Amino acid sequence: MVEMGMSKIITTNKKMKINIKEKLWYFFIYLSALFTLIALLSIIGYILMNGAKHIHWEFFVKEPSSMGREGGIFSIIVGTLYLTLVSIVIATPIGVAGAIYLTEYAKENRLVRIIRFGTETLAGIPSIIFGLFGFVFFVVFLGFRWSILSGGLTLAMMILPTLLRATEESLKTVPQSYREGSLALGATKWQTIMKVVLPSSVSGILTGLILGIGRAVGETAAVMLTAGSSLGLPKSIMDPARTMSVHLYLLASEGLSKEKTFATATVLVIFVVIINCFANILANKYMKKTKVES
């Protein structure tokens, strides 16, 4: 009886220690999440408080003048959208196609490992190196000059690793039974990929796309070296352009206008938030559609 009582006490003590450890871990996790949320809200709140009061309708529809000290940011918004669109249009099909090949077709061998290692290495290269390469290769060697095309190609190389890895990981989460069921019903491998695998992983692909857009919108050094910093309204992909991040950097570093700096930062933050919200809504819509069809 004494031994049984001692064993119960020991077991109870162990459970209490485990419960204490779990509570400490939960507390640490919640504290970390709370700290992240507070940091995010603090940054956004500080920018909005200092910039929202300087935003008005003319700020969106007028082109900048006097090196950005006066006027609005219409041409800069157009340049940002133009450059981001070009980079996404170039990088998305290449990234998705590469992920499909690595996940659905390629066998695990040395070549695949080299490709994955190269992709991870490419993701860690500083943006200034991409900018220097883009300047030497696209701007000078290919003769594209400072243009949206040069900047878009450079940004496409920068966001390609993120998009490829996110798509690959998303494709891996699709259960193998989905593929086997589709093939058993007589579908070809390509039909299975297009009709079953890709729709089931669209949320992960959109996540990679969001990260890519976020990097493209926020990039400064590479864009300055390849797309230039012209304040004029771009009319084609061969024209130079200035993005909001470049405009923000030049305004802040040269001390041209504190009001315009915070106003531009506010628009940039709102722009990124809208993109994230839209992508999340789209991803949830596709997920619900996939669940209904399955």
Could you please report the per-residue DSSP string of the chain? -HHHHHHHHHHHHHHHHHHHHHHHHHHHHHHHHHHHHHHHHHHHHHHHHHHGGG--HHHHHSPEEGGGTEE--HHHHHHHHHHHHHHHHHHHHHHHHHHHIIIII--SSHHHHHHHHHHHHHHTS-HHHHHHHHIIIIIIIS---SSHHHHHHHHHHHHHHHHHHHHHHHHHTS-HHHHHHHHHTT--HHHHIIIIIHHHTHHHHHHHHHHHHHHHHH--HHHHHHT----SPP-STTS----HHHHHHHHHHHTS-HHHHHHHHHHHHHHHHHHHHHHHHHHHHHHHHHHHH-
pLDDT band at 20 (very low <50, low <70, confident <90, very high): confident
**Does the pLDDT at position 241 exceed 70?**
yes
Q: Based on the domain organization, do 28 and 116 belong to the same domain? A: no
Determine the pLDDT at residue 35: 92
Cα 280 to Cα 262: distance, rounded to the nearest angstrom: 27
Q: Based on the domain organization, do 148 and 264 belong to the same domain? A: yes
Cα 154 to Cα 88: distance, rounded to the nearest angstrom: 11
Q: Based on the domain organization, do 107 and 161 belong to the same domain? A: yes
Q: What is the CATH number of the domain that holds 127?
A: 1.10.3720.10
| Mean pLDDT of all residues belonging to the chain | 83
Quickly tell me which residue has 């290692």 as its tokens: 117
Q: Based on the domain organization, do 79 and 205 belong to the same domain? A: yes
Cβ atoms of 152 and 90 within 8 Å: the answer is: yes
Q: Based on the domain organization, do 11 and 120 belong to the same domain? A: no
**Does the pLDDT at position 2 exceed 90?**
no
pLDDT band at 56 (very low <50, low <70, confident <90, very high): confident
pLDDT band at 93 (very low <50, low <70, confident <90, very high): very high
Of 221, 267, 242, nearest in space to 67 by CA? 242
In a domain, 57, yes or no: no
Q: Based on the domain organization, do 78 and 38 belong to the same domain? A: no
In a domain, 93, yes or no: yes
In a domain, 52, yes or no: no
Q: Based on the domain organization, do 88 and 220 belong to the same domain? A: yes
Q: Based on the domain organization, do 26 and 109 belong to the same domain? A: no
Q: Based on the domain organization, do 35 and 151 belong to the same domain? A: no
In a domain, 62, yes or no: no
Identify the domain containing residue 20 by its residue range.
2-42
Q: Based on the domain organization, do 16 and 125 belong to the same domain? A: no
> Per the structure, how many domains does the chain have?
2
Q: Tens digit of pLDDT for each residue in 178-214?
A: 888 888 888 888 888 888 888 888 878 888 888 888 8
In a domain, 51, yes or no: no
In a domain, 18, yes or no: yes
Q: Based on the domain organization, do 36 and 149 belong to the same domain? A: no
Q: Based on the domain organization, do 105 and 175 belong to the same domain? A: yes
The pTM of this model reads 0.81
In a domain, 55, yes or no: no
In a domain, 129, yes or no: yes
